[in-house]
Amino acid sequence: MALLQISEPGQSQAPHQRRLAVGIDLGTTNSLVASVISGSASVLKDEHEQWTIPSVVHYSTNHEPLVGKSAQEKAASDPFNTIRSAKRLMGKGANDVQQSWLADHYQFDLETGSIPAFKTVVGNKSAIEVSADILSKLRATAEQTLGGDLVGAVITVPAYFDDAQRQATKDAAALSGIHVLRLLNEPTAAAVAYGLDSGTDGVVAIYDLGGGTFDISLLKMQRGVFEVLATAGNTALGGDDFDNAIADWMRTRAGLEQMPDQSSHRQLLRLARSVKEQLSSQDKTSYALNLSDEINISGEISVADVNAIIEPLLKNTLAPCRQVLRDAGIAKTDVKAVVMVGGSTRVPLVRTMVSEFFDQPVLTDIDPDQVVAIGAAVQANVLAGNKTDDDLLLLDVIPLSLGLETMGGLVEKIIPRNTTIPIARAQEFTTYKDGQTAMALHVVQGERELVSDCRSLANFELRDIPARVAGACRIQVLFQVDADGLLSVSALEKESGVLASIDVKPSYGLSDGEIEQMLKASMEHASEDVQKRALAEQKVEGRRVVEAISSALEADGDTHLSVDERTDIDALIETLLEKLEQDNGDAIKQAIEKLEAGSSLFVERRMNASVKQLMAGQEIEELERTLVSSDASRET
């Protein structure tokens, strides 16, 4: 007998035609899978009747990887083979591992391969493989519950995930045999779960404090369309940090310098977490962890104690809140609603602080742990084609500007941050030297003015450019970001049609640190950057002038100039070259002006000569055509 689900009126599907799709919230601490069943989205329970599956995987030689609660139970007895918080290392390099607290808890292989890997009894496991094992478990739960194969899943990622982290998430899904319908930003999913697409127009803030990451996003709803106005956050702040801080407090109180081993440290962390959870609903509680005569951690802890411990951490979430308001040009009073997402928003102090900051009560109607998965499920149901007349359209933004390196190590931003995706933007570049036949393209991500301060994403070359004078070639560089936030860049030389392109599958090891730090740095160094940029631009301009005049001199300097005149110009070039070696922008500018003034006679004589040559023996009509076509090329 078949178990049938109830459909919306007119939307019943033929047998075996239902397209099963799920939404997956792949979290740092917990993961969830949800689906639309009988008209409403709900989180699916696993065989233990649990709907949150801890994002923990235990590896051992004699059984398949354990995922979830059964893995968590192994944490105390077998810490090195029980991997948690792997999401923090998605798309990260060896440097990031060393900076992370995970480095103190696990053994890593940072040498073999390009991605850092956890050392386990069954060999090296990258964060991608660990995530794939979690996803496999979610997939199995979903397929058993829904009774069929999945056509795909919408997987949520923090709005702040960069290209490398998004790609790593897609790789993990592929490894677990899940077709990704779309990666969706977590705040956007939360907005969908609240059904805000059918609500009135306005701006909503999504405050998401999960186990390991913090995100604040401003979403604008207009005629049923979501647009992410701005996002900010901290990729290394969450409930785990509260647990660590509370554990440290309890340990210090017991007069202990440190815990004797990993296993006891984990027991303490577990105690800290349960204390935190209890204090969400009561004023004080007692705790006890009695490991031996020396290690006896016990006492009483009150809400006031916990508030004092976590308040400094929480204050770190308010700066990003201010930033998104600034980025979007929105006043606090324009924010219509504040949605709380993530288990850590159950902590009463979090609600109070956020509500005070935005000066309004915060929304907590939907379980903050489930809200993202539910939104993803709703979106998955639409994308799988189970809803015909749905006009839900989601727009996400890119978290950091994308650009190209130009001469002088400067960044030309092609797509500014917070641009909605999918997006394609083209810009024309040209050659810098006469006879240049190749161009190196360096794709970077970040807010700073100089390439050295941004994150390098990819390098590629455009070859076989026809040899022309500097500035004559027209090379169109196209940046495309798809709906998942993945970037492809192509360069096309318009005359010959030569094309080079690259899909940015960013190398995992390249991260230059945290995105938030990058954003902060761009604020702090704003004026310094402007000066650096101005200097670099002067230098590029200076070299261009030297290049142009030198090549002209070489071509016909002796025809148009006397020996003395030539010597004067050579001397001015020398002076400019000297100034280019120093870092004084004004001096370079003066030297350029002197050189241009000094060579003006030469330039004029050359112009006259070439005009004469051009006009000799030409019909007026033909001449006009030449002029028109050169005008046209200047415009583009």
**Using CA of residue 479, residue 482, residue 485, residue 488, what is the dihedral sign?**
negative
By the 8 A CB rule, do 279 and 306 touch? Answer: yes
Residue 361 CB, nearest approach to other proteins (Å): 23
Give the count of beta carbons closer than 10 Å to the beta carbon of residue 144: 12
Question: Which of left, alpha, beta for 100 (phi over 0: left; psi -120 to 50: alpha)?
Answer: beta
SS3 state at 505: coil
Q: With respect to other proteins, which residue has the nearer C-beta, 44 or 462?
A: 44
Q: With respect to other proteins, which residue has the nearer C-beta, 7 or 600?
A: 7
Question: Can 453 be counted among the known catalytic residues?
Answer: no
Which one, of 268, 350, 340, 343, lies nearest residue 303 by Cα? 350
| Cα distance between residue 54 and residue 211, in whole Å | 11
Helices 600-615, 620-635: axis angle to 10 degrees equals 130
Selected catalytic residue, list 87, 92, 276, 579: 87
Question: Can 186 be counted among the known catalytic residues?
Answer: yes
Give the count of beta carbons closer than 10 Å to the beta carbon of residue 299: 11
Question: Can 359 be counted among the known catalytic residues?
Answer: no
Per-residue b or e along 165-175, where b marks 16 or more CB atoms closer than 10 Å to that residue's CB: bbbbbbbbbeb
Selected catalytic residue, list 133, 197, 208, 240: 208
Give the count of beta carbons closer than 10 Å to the beta carbon of residue 463: 12
> Interface with other proteins by CB under 8 A: which residues?
1-12, 14-16, 38-40, 44-47, 141, 144-147
Q: With respect to other proteins, which residue has the nearer C-beta, 4 or 628?
A: 4
Q: With respect to other proteins, which residue has the nearer C-beta, 14 or 628?
A: 14
Helices 303-315, 318-328: axis angle to 10 degrees equals 40
Question: Can 367 be counted among the known catalytic residues?
Answer: no
| Cα distance between residue 423 and residue 162, in whole Å | 16
Residue 19 CB, nearest approach to other proteins (Å): 15
Provide DSSP, 296-331. EEEEEEEHHHHHHHHHHHHHTTHHHHHHHHHHHT--
Q: With respect to other proteins, which residue has the nearer C-beta, 142 or 569?
A: 142
Per-residue DSSP letter, 450 = B
Residue 448 CB, nearest approach to other proteins (Å): 49
Which one, of 220, 212, 165, lies nearest residue 187 by Cα? 220
Which one, of 520, 533, 544, 539, lies nearest residue 588 by Cα? 539
| Cα distance between residue 224 and residue 550, in whole Å | 61
Helices 585-598, 563-581: axis angle to 10 degrees equals 170
By the 8 A CB rule, do 56 and 83 touch? Answer: yes
Residue 184 CB, nearest approach to other proteins (Å): 23
Residue 320 CB, nearest approach to other proteins (Å): 35
Residue 16 CB, nearest approach to other proteins (Å): 7
Selected catalytic residue, list 186, 197, 327, 484: 186
Residue 353 CB, nearest approach to other proteins (Å): 32
Q: Let me know if 137 is exposed, middle or buried by CB neighbors in 10 A (0-12, 13-18, 19+).
A: buried
Residue 153 CB, nearest approach to other proteins (Å): 17
Active-site positions? 25, 87, 186, 208
